[in-house]
Structure 1
Amino acid sequence: MGHWDGSADRSPVQAGRDSWTAFRSMGARPRRIVTDRALGDLFAVDLGDTGLANAEGHVTCRARRIVTLTRPDDALLAEHQLHYLRSYADLRPDRLGEINSQIGDLQSFYAMVGYMSPEATPWTIALNLAVLRLCAAIEMPLKHGFDVPRPIAMSYKVQPVIQTPGHGAWPSGHATEAFATATLLTRLFYNRGFDPVAEIHGENELYRHAARIAMNRTVAGVHFPTDSMAGAVLGITLAEALVRLLDAEPTTPARRFRGDSYQGDFNLFLLSSALGDDAVIETTSAPCDGPALPAWLRRMWSEAQGEW
């Protein structure tokens, strides 16, 4: 409006800003993209065979293996897992409301344990949603690489009460995301030392919700118990590695789940027992040192902690 000779007549507010101020000023979608890029640079999927279903796959943190999963074969599923679907189906009338809600919403169940709202805990929510997106970016390549069948492929009588997803079953994405969320929020909600295995042994409220979410997928008829065990191992280890990176700790647990021999059911007690049995879940240690995390990400973590 009016004549302009091309000269500047204002000073940009961006001049000299720190990365946290710049991050906060971004729109929601660009901020998600920046966060996802930063977390995606830390973790990767390692699958050896790109032509056929893999017997073994890995997840790395800063190029060090933190998760190793060995796939169950179809005979193990048919002989030792399928019968669980029959007994779990008896719970369908009681669980159907939860099952339908959990198709697209996991976070709300954890908000029953610790008060969460966009106004009061924005950075906790932002980090948790970022972890859920990270889980999806890790679990989907694994599902594709392992290509494990769903229960409906084993029997016409399974008849799931929800639509069977159009991708492989193992590891369970719901279990991965549920246990990753429980692990992250355990670090934030509880005013005590961070020890996910001890918290699972003690069956804290967050892990109880995670186990129920995972088990509901077997009730629904779309997952075997082994799918949930694999997903729980993946979710716990992935989120624990991220927390330890954010806390600037030098090492993080590395876990191997022997899905090729695990025949049992899934619940929180069985997960707790498996975490203490190297024949089922072998636990070692991996270094997580390396370049410093972005300053804005460290500030985001500090802000999330300050909300509790």
Structure 2
Amino acid sequence: MQIVSALSEISDRYDALFVDLWGCVHDGVRVIPGANEALRAFRAKGGKVILVTNSPRPRAGVERQMDAFGVARDAWDDIATSGDSARVAMYRGIVGQKVWHLGYAGEEDGGFFTPPNVLDDPLEIARVPLDVAEGVVCTGPPDPSAHPDVMRPELLLAKTRGLKLLCANPDIVVDRGDRREWCAGAIAKLYSEMGGESLYFGKPHPPIYDLARRRLAKLADVPDAAILAIGDGPLTDAAGAMGEDLDLLFISGGLGAEETGTPRLGDPDPEKLAAYLEATGVVPTFVIGSLR
């Protein structure tokens, strides 16, 4: 493992990047200083940038969100979202046609409940009350500030009825600016702990990496050995990269900033970083404080 101070120190070894968004490119409020410039420089040398995000939003919604945060359009080539991967599965009927929905639907962004154009014959999906649902679709908790335990009564009913839960965002928590929020992954984790069956479609699970590779293949023929994954989540970005056998540039100043002793836009404390990596089981190829 090597600590680097800039992406440019190692970027010549790779032809493509799979880049996490939240905590790496933006903080849920604004672009992280240096991220646009680092990705632009990589693309200027011919590299391809695929943004791989556990956002439950469709691609178009993520794109509009990034515009609002100040993420430059010329800093990336394409986007793979867990929302798109999950939507395809939902419209194939993986949790039935009548679903109880938890979280954000995003109608203004094209909508999670808009059939994806990659399917020729999508099923009709109806949102219904829990007591008549055939499955559960979770794009997030109803209140991201409330602990997932508040959903236990509803989840118990879903489990008792034998319903599968489709999780459109495996993240447990994210930091929106200085505020930590719960994500759909926390609901799915609780449901599994209660004995229910949760189905995941974002990092670290294979479907989103399959989608990212398809997006990349439209741009260039890049072998896995020439792809660098970039992310800050031990359970999502790091576990996914390690599971897919991709090199990993771990961002220590994201979710693990406090534990790794990484000040904003600074470098990690080597001793704290080593302890954190050992505790989380993350084995990165490189570490950087922030994407720059």
Fold in common (TM above 0.5): no
Q: Which has the larger radius of gyration?
A: 1
Quick check: which one's helix share is greater? Answer: 1
| TM-score w.r.t. length of structure 2 | 0.25
Quick check: which one's strand share is greater? Answer: 2
